[in-house]
Amino acid sequence: MDFSFSPEEKEFGVQVRTFLDREVSDEFLSDLEERGEVDFSREFTKKLAQKGWLAIAWPKEYGGGGASIVQQLIFNEEIGYHHAPTGAHRQGIKILGPCLMVHGTEEQKRKYLPPITAAEVVWCQGFSEPNAGSDLASLQCCAIADGDDYVITGQKVWTTNAHRADRCHLLTRTDPEAPKHRGISYFLVEMRSPGITVRPLINMLAAHDFNEVFFDNVRVPKENMLGEKNQGWYVSQTALNFERSGIEEVGMASKTLEELVDYCKETKRNGKLLANDLIVRHKLAEMAVQIEVARMIAYRVAWLQSKGQIPSYEASMSKLVGTELRKRLGDIGMQILGLYGPLETGAKWAPLKGRVLRAYLHALGQTMAMGTSEIMRNIIALRGLELPRA
């Protein structure tokens, strides 16, 4: 066993950190916030592409950097640490692209992959529906064959960045008679297609990232189906396993912890430095422990990927640990800031520019997105421990 990075990997980490220190400055993040686009910047995604780091871990044949999974791990941890906006490429790079490589036809790969690596196209994900959340396979949005097309009708919800996206990768029902997992097909849809309506859903941070998306007889050519007809569920599971293996949460939490530590070292309360308060020390130490634990489990997921394995319950574990950690950190951070904690970004007296408050609110959604913590536990129990189904 060897937990160290090679000299080349360390050097790479320094390059990434230097680049992100410059490109993701406080001013840049504040500017995004003012525009209501905290996690979305086509310009930043473009810069990553120019640097050759956007699709860093994709194989070279698909326009990627061909970097190792370990380099990707280092890269993603830094992206998280810097709170860099990934909304303009996350779906394409982390979910759809890898899925296309596994399940796409040669023509689909040629058509869809290069615009992703060139940062030209933003994708959104049409999975959840009002009555298909955790029970995703019960989705009802239907696609009916008609000549050379399929005609799609139904509603999606929680569609992040649908109002900014160019294309949508979409799950639809193509066989209402089949068992629910076996009647789903996966489509790649242009968002400008006639019949698509996008309506905003405002999250607890007062930001517009989520949407409802309505499909009213939207025509999609048959060749836009990804994978076999009625096999869409299995294609989508590949996508979810890719998405659940992120280390960004660890990077984000590390930065928040560092900021809290610095704050406690220079802030007095009742005449005493917060850093000298035993309860504060132990709360922050507990978070440092959890961050390192989450980091190691994410490393293991990456290690399995680097050996060509597709982690399933391991990725669920990593997702669950990372997102729950950030929720806890948000809570502890707010406790330590005391009455100052709830002061909003930009408010007079707001400590740490209101970032702890934002972490507190932002972390909530992460324990729902791409499978709630409860669904992660189901996967761990059923796939990992092979406990009997009800």
Partner 1 sequence: MNLDFTEEQGMLRTAARDFLTKECPKTLVRQLEEDEKGYSPELWRKMAELGWMGLVIPEEYGGMGMEFMDLIILLEEIGRNILPGPFFSTVVLGSLPILAAGTEEQKAEFLPKVASGDLILTLALTEPSARYDAAGVATKAVAQGDSFVINGTKLFVENAHIADYMICVTRTKKGATPEEGITLFIVDAKSPGIKCEVVPTIALDKLCEVVFENVIVPKKNMLGKLNQGWPIVARTLEQGAVAKCAEMIGGAQAALDMTVSYVKERVQYGRPIGSFQVIQHYCANMWINVDTGRSILYEAAWKVGEGLPAAAEVAVAKGWINEACKFVTERGVQCHGAIGTTRDHDIGLYYRRAKAAELAFGDTDFQREVVAQQIGL
Give catalytic residues, as residue numbers: 243
Please, which of residues 6-35 interact with partner 1 by CB under 8 A? 6, 9
User: Among 155, 160, 81, 77, which residue's Cα sits nearest to residue 122?
Assistant: 160
Please, which of residues 293-322 interact with partner 1 by CB under 8 A? 293-294, 296-297, 299-300, 303, 317, 320-321
Phi then psi for residue 139, to 5 deg, are -60, 150
Contact status: 328 vs partner 1 (CB under 8 A): no
The piece of 24-32, 152-160, 192-200, 278-286 that touches partner 1 (CB under 8 A) is 278-286
- Strands 167-173 and 123-126, sheet pairing: parallel
Binding partner 1 by CB under 8 A: which of 290, 323, 366, 367? 290
Q: Take residue 313 and report the two structure tokens written for it.
A: 């319950």
75 residue type, one letter: F
| 227 torsion bin: left (phi>0), alpha (psi -120 to 50), beta (else) | left
Burial class (CB in 10 A: 0-12, 13-18, 19+), 247: buried
C-beta contacts of 346-352 below 8 A and 24+ residues apart: 351/263, 351/267, 352/259, 352/260, 352/263
Contact status: 377 vs partner 1 (CB under 8 A): yes
| Distance separating alpha carbons of residues 35 and 29, to the nearest angstrom | 10
Binding partner 1 by CB under 8 A: which of 288, 334, 361, 368? 288
Please, which of residues 130-169 interact with partner 1 by CB under 8 A? none
- The contacts of residue 181 (CB under 8 Å, 6+ apart) are 137, 233
Least Å from the CB of residue 157 to partner 1? 24
Contact status: 384 vs partner 1 (CB under 8 A): yes
Least Å from the CB of residue 147 to partner 1? 45
User: Among 233, 88, 246, 54, which residue's Cα sits nearest to residue 167?
Assistant: 88
The piece of 48-56, 232-240, 338-346, 379-387 that touches partner 1 (CB under 8 A) is 379-387
CA dist 385 → 16, 101, 334 (Å): 38, 30, 36
Contact status: 348 vs partner 1 (CB under 8 A): no
Contact status: 3 vs partner 1 (CB under 8 A): yes
Q: Nearer to partner 1 by C-beta: 14 or 387? A: 387
Q: Nearer to partner 1 by C-beta: 73 or 171? A: 73
Contact status: 281 vs partner 1 (CB under 8 A): yes
Binding site for partner 1 (CB under 8 A): 1-6, 9, 70, 257, 261, 264-265, 275, 281-282, 284-286, 288-290, 292-294, 296-297, 299-300, 303, 317, 320-321, 374, 376-378, 380-382, 384-385, 387-390
